[in-house]
């Protein structure tokens, strides 16, 4: 009987502190991703997607299958085991004293959580643009020059662990927040990263800055305030010329892999222009 009770408690803790957050993460990530996927398909079928996409480009559908597989591998091979390893850490949040705080205290802690998480993400993201790290780890994330929602976690497993999972958890060691707040934080970050990578600028979804990062490579590393503080903030109403791409392409002086990516992107643009011009018929 004692063995059964112990097993029941362990399974209950596993469900609460591992399975539940993983399901919440998956739903918060894939529901908006599928909504944007349908939007991509519908607007492209109507041939009006360029009117809504920030970079005025269509979707590279050939990259979608690989993207979905890589993201699912990251979620099941990196995120899920991380949740299991951290289940004892999760239990510490299930303390009534963390729920018995004022809205002012809760709001200030959430602001600190956002600021610290984005700072850690910014620093790791900037570091990943070092030529060696970019070539061997971060380059996969930049295969999409015009982002789509579901590729937010399309990354090398090492990058997913240190650049996505670690920035999410690290500030939580210093802030006293409830278990429900942690789950809310998981929903916010999962939904936000899909929206930021959606490639759309609709209503409150003003994601021009992150699209500019994917086009120019060494600007807009963060999400919150740190680009403005560290001088890497960059914004423009329309996407710049190739010469501007070249000027902004090397945060670590010279990054041949970044320049190769820019050359490849410009080649795609030129082929698109040639195909467009070849389809023009002049009627007299």
pLDDT digits (tens, 9 = 90+) for 189-212: 999 899 888 887 766 556 677 777
Q: How many domains does the chain divide into?
A: 1
Instruction: Give the SS3 label for residue 202.
Output: strand
Q: Is 84 inside any structural domain? A: yes
Whether the CB-CB separation of 94 and 179 falls below 8 Å is answered with yes
pTM given for the model: 0.79
Q: Is 4 inside any structural domain? A: no
- Among 245, 243, 14, 13, which residue's Cα sits nearest to residue 234? 245
Q: Which position has the token pair 């690989």? A: 66
Q: Is 51 inside any structural domain? A: yes
- Among 56, 63, 65, which residue's Cα sits nearest to residue 272? 56
Q: Residues in the chain with pLDDT < 50?
A: 1-6, 8-9, 238-250, 255, 262-284
Domain of residue 273: give its range: 12-278
Tell me, what DSSP letter sits at residue 280? -
Q: Is 205 inside any structural domain? A: yes
Q: Is 5 inside any structural domain? A: no
Q: Is 46 exposed, middle or buried (0-12, 13-18, 19+ CB in 10 A)?
A: exposed
Phi-psi region of 236 (alpha: psi -120 to 50; beta: other; left: phi over 0): beta
Q: Is 155 inside any structural domain? A: yes
Q: Is 6 inside any structural domain? A: no
């Amino acid at each position: 009987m004692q063995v059964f009770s112990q097993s029941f408690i362990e399974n209950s803790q596993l469900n609460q502190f591992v399975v539940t957050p993983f399901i919440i993460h998956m739903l918060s990530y894939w529901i908006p991703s599928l909504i944007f996927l349908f939007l991509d398909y519908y607007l492209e079928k109507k041939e009006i997607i360029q009117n809504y996409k920030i970079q005025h480009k269509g979707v590279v559908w050939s990259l979608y299958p690989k993207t979905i597989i890589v993201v699912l591998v990251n979620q099941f091979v990196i995120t899920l085991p991380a949740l299991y390893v951290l289940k004892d850490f999760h239990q510490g949040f299930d303390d009534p004293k963390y729920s018995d705080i004022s809205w002012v205290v809760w709001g200030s802690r959430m602001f600190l959580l956002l600021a610290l998480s984005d700072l850690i993400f910014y620093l790791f993201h900037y570091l990943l643009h070092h030529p060696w790290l970019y070539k061997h780890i971060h380059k996969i994330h930049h295969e999409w020059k015009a982002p789509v929602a579901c590729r937010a976690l399309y990354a090398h497993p090492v990058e997913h662990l240190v650049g996505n999972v670690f920035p999410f958890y690290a500030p939580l060691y210093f802030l006293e927040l409830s278990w429900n707040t942690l789950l809310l934080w998981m929903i916010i970050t999962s939904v936000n990263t899909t929206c930021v990578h959606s490639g759309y600028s609709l209503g409150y979804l003003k994601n021009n800055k992150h699209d500019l990062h994917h086009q120019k490579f060494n600007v807009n590393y963060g999400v919150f305030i740190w680009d403005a503080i560290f001088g890497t903030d960059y914004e423009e109403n329309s996407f710049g010329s190739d010469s501007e791409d070249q000027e902004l392409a090397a945060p670590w002086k010279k990054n041949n892999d970044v320049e190769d990516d820019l050359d490849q992107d410009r080649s795609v643009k030129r082929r698109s222009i040639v195909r467009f011009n070849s389809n023009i018929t002049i009627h007299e």
